[in-house]
A and B are shown apart, each in its own frame.
Chain A
Amino acid sequence: MANIGVLIEIEGGELKGTNFGVLTAAHEQGKNDVYAFLLGEKADPFKDALAAYGAEKIVEVSAAGADLSKNPDLQAKALAAAIDEYSLTGMLGLASAVGRDLFARMAADLNLPLVSDGVAVDLDRKTVRKSHFSGKTFATIQIEAGVLLCAIRPNAIEAKEAPVEAEVVSFSPSVSDPGRVRVVEAKMSASDKMDLTEAPIIITGGRPIGSAENYKVLEECARALGPAAVGASRAAVDAGYAPHSMQVGQTGKTVSPKLYIGCGLSGSVQHFAGMKTSKVIVAINTDKDAPIFEKCDYGIIGDLFEVMPALTKALKES
């Protein structure tokens, strides 16, 4: 039995759905006591959802006499202080833009090893599996320290419910930081689009999409599928059809949804570096010899502008 911490991410006032898989990883079928940490947030609105996935203690973290919100170093220090306070032997989080950053700050601060973008953890043995060589290999890494720090690839670990009674506590360590890194502004995107790394289903359009407007064909299908996001290949981003925030692949986002539908993608190594760990991959391509058909699960030979509207219709009807 070990005490394992999980950094919970809230976005737009809501729990990110990908937090639950991280709780499942920390819980290890009941082997561990799970502490869920909320940075500068109240626990109440999230208590039941976190308890349903095994969080026994929900800790509201603040900094005594300081504002955590604008200072990532202070956030990392407050979280680092929690490791000591609760005798944690592991701290897990999401390998999101925020999580990757905070975990690396914490690891540097505590001089502890860190695995960023892990896809499986064994907290007992202190080993983590992660991708090496742009998704071509998996490395198993042994952590030789008292505390295991790991930011987990969103959606890589399937969430399993494990209901417990949760207790809410607050922790306000006196940490300080000169504030040499300051958040001066957050430019929030106007759209309510789901971030690709969060999405359980992704539909990606490659170069043949041909224009920014044509992504509508994929967006309509995404709406019919339920929570789903639309992505792009680098060729489509470079052609100006989509912003870089939509790019999947080695120089874009790394995603691991349960369903990935690639429309008009040739199947490049660099694109696959970012989506290879998806559970089911479907490809739609006009060319029967397209390399993508050799590395996906289901293939449809056809024009994406015919197949995708038909798929949207079929989803709506069924």
Chain B
Amino acid sequence: MQIYVCVKHVPDTAANIKIVGETGYNDSACKFIANPYDEYAIEAAVQLVEKQGGEAVVVTVGPESAVGTLRSAMAMGAARGILVKVDSQFLDSDITAQALKAAIEADGKKADLILTGKGSVDTEGFQTMYRLAGAMGLPVVNEIVKLDVNGGKATVEREIGAGSREVLEANLPCVLGATKGLNEPRYPKFPDIMKAKKKPVDQKAISDLGVDPSGAKTRLLKLEAVPERSGAKMIEGAPREQVVELVRILREEEKVL
């Protein structure tokens, strides 16, 4: 199986985001990692290749430093990486999808499966996989928690509300978005990290792929910190007094009961 895994290079979720100007942030102050949901996709691809043979290739659209994210995916078992270089962290998801499509097609092998995460934790778009599938004319299912690939089709499960699940089938090749529950992403061991340093990474500029990053239909107007609460009002007293006071506040002051 020829599997492509789309992995985004994102600030660590624990990183402090310092906003600069109207729409920027200080990215040199944050540690960058592979988008956490994309790790479920990498793990699924590596497991499929281990069982059924073939090759798992990681693709990212990002800055030069995103090579680090490709290396961590290769340490998990991907065979090689493709970096499509861009300047901005806030690329429109339609442009990202066009770049991913162009990079996968330019690789010259026919994809059997394309895996992504369910969403990126920086821009929280929840749509790149649908646009990629749309552009390539492939079926797509997102937020999968179970995957079975057999006989030219993928059988997947996704959560739909309180504990309920939907079972879906899609013909291969298809695009699938992974989420927590699909598997437990492995921690690469030291020798795997060393091996990953020697694996090939193909780098190209987005313009070399014929994709124009200026055609976006969304524009970021403003980025602002979510106001933090300034600290709790502590409710004192014995447990009985505390809860009675809490009920009174929730009812009379906050009016949420």
Mask of B212-227 contacts with A, CB within 8 angstroms, 1/0? 0000111111111110
From 126 to 180 in chain B, residues with beta carbon under 8 angstroms from any chain A beta carbon are 126-127, 129-131, 133-135, 138-143, 145, 155, 157-171, 174, 179-180
A164 within 8 A of partner (CB): no
Give Cα A298–Cα B236 distance, bound, in whole angstroms. 11
A residues within 8 A CB of B52?
Answer: none
Which secondary structure dominates where chain B touches chain A?
mixed
Nearest chain B CB to A72's CB is how many angstroms away?
8
B226–A137 contact, CB under 8 A? yes
- B194 contacts partner chain A, Cβ-Cβ < 8 Å: no
Check if A280 is an interface residue, CB within 8 A of chain B: yes
Which residue of B124, B218, B223, B228 is within 8 Å of A144 (Cβ)? B218
Q: Is B81's beta carbon under 8 Å from chain A?
A: no
Determine the distance from Cα of A147 to Cα of B165 in the docked complex, in whole angstroms: 32
Q: Which of A73, A193, A245, A293 contacts B231 (CB 8 A)?
A: A293
B-chain residues with CB within 8 Å of residue A194 when the two chains form the complex: 162
B169 touches A182 (CB 8 A): yes
Q: Is A67 an interface residue (CB 8 A)?
A: no
- Set A97, A186, A314: member contacting B143, Cβ < 8 A: A97
Query: For residue B166, which residues in chain A have a CB less than 8 angstroms away from its CB?
Result: 183, 185-187
Q: Are B224 and A138 in contact (CB under 8 A)?
A: yes
9-residue interface stretch from A52-60, A85-93, A269-277: A269-277
Query: Interface stretch among B11-19, B59-67, B199-207?
Result: B11-19
B220 touches A104 (CB 8 A): no
Number of interface residues of A (CB under 8 A): 94
For chain A, what secondary structure do more than half of its interface residues adopt (helix, strand, loop), or is it mixed?
Answer: mixed
Query: A293 touching B232 by the CB < 8 A rule?
Result: yes
Our count of residue pairs bridging A and B at CB distance below 8 angstroms stands at 249
Central interface residue in B92, B161, B163, B170, by most chain A CB within 10 Å = B161
Q: B246 at the A/B interface (Cβ < 8 Å)?
A: yes
Q: Say yes or no: is B210 at the interface (Cβ < 8 Å to chain A).
A: no
Cβ 8 A contact of B160, one of A95, A97, A136, A293: A97
Is A113 engaged at the interface, CB distance under 8 Å to the other chain?
yes
Give the chain B neighbours of A229 by CB distance below 8 A. Answer: 162
Cross-chain contact B224 with A294 (CB below 8 angstroms): no
Partner of B134, one of A108, A144, A302: A108
Q: A142 near B221 (CB under 8 angstroms)?
A: yes
Q: Mark A107-131, 1 if CB is under 8 A from B, else 0.
A: 1110111111100000000010011
Subset of 25 A-B contacts with CB under 8 Å: A100-B143, A109-B134, A116-B127, A132-B124, A134-B13, A139-B223, A142-B219, A145-B217, A181-B141, A182-B168, A184-B167, A193-B162, A195-B162, A244-B180, A245-B159, A270-B14, A279-B256, A281-B229, A293-B234, A298-B232, A299-B233, A300-B242, A300-B243, A311-B243, A315-B247
